[in-house]
Structure 1
Amino acid sequence: MVNALRHPYVKPVWAILRIGLGYIWLNAALEKLGAFPVYVGAKAGTAVTGYLQGALAQSSGAHAQVTAEWAWLVHVLFLPTAGFWSIVVTFGELACGIGLILGVFTGTALIGALVMNLAYMLSGSATVNPAMFTLEVIMLAIGPAVAYWGLDHWAFHDWAGRRLLFHPAPNIPKAANSHPEIPAPSSPRRTA
């Protein structure tokens, strides 16, 4: 099944889906940067504090949307440092959006997007996040085929036997007696 999803005819479809997903992340980051003071400005963390308090409010009742463990983590770790997480999320969304649109460091961008979507879903936000999460998992499983129509393809593709970036060192055989203190091993000769 996965091989069928890596077929050359399907690669343009993955490129369109990857770019669309990147647009969603980039748009979310630009909205946060547009509301400058409450996300990354002087009042950084104000909006995130409200979001996290909403998550805590959903952790009680007969049909809680947020688990007690996640609520504890929100209360102990995320709320006290909301300003820091506001900046991390804003620039994380921006990096994921740019990475997915350009197809550069696609795997890293997908993992970052996956982690943020998981955090949003655990906080009780279930709008488009489950669909995005599912698409990101599928794209990670497919691997390099998703980045075929992107900068990763050009950076990591084997062009005429030479890689442009991150090429491995040439395979140079070591001499039998490369270390002066260690004698060369003697191998028994076979006679026919």
Structure 2
Amino acid sequence: MFNFNSNKVKYMAKHEPVSFVVFDVLYHKGEKVTHLPLHERKGILDVIIPVNTPNLSKIMSIASNGITLYELIKEQNLEGIVLKRKDSTYEIGKRSYSLLKVINYQYSNVIIKGYRKEEFGWLLSYEDGRYAGIMELGVPKERRMKICQMLKKDENDKFVFIEPFTCNVKYRNITKTGLLRLPSYVR
């Protein structure tokens, strides 16, 4: 059960404000609207939230010009865009073929310094030596096997450290803590 404390809510709203960003509407006036096409649900959303505020706003929706929008996203170094068919209904609980994520991947060379002992993951650092995270995605099986055969330099309870080598990766962005978000093997 949620314990509502109005003083705590006021304090948090002042010191750690939250904003709510809406991208779709599932119910309106007590009625389920997931069967309606996206463009009609967006119309309902415009009625519900006519003006964006700092605490409540809608995701920007643009009909057509997807290529131009994506080029602007890349220029601003933003994460990407989501493409949806305007006549699509809201599909719950399954992957929709009416929705496509277009990620603005970033690419970088990193240093592989070792690997995890328990579950697969390569230990990454930037070329200047700073820790860059763990890569778990996209590494072909033959590459995984090859790294285990490399000369071990040292180890601890979690990692085996090897002779460092360079690898090219793609990633979504750099986190606030300076790590690569979802690094994936390229070559």
* Higher strand proportion: 2
Which interval holds the TM-score relative to the shorter structure? under 0.3
Q: Which has the higher contact order (CA 8 A, sep 6+)?
A: 1
TM-score of the two chains, using structure 1 as the length reference:
0.23
TM-score of the two chains, using structure 2 as the length reference:
0.23
Name the larger-Rg structure: 1
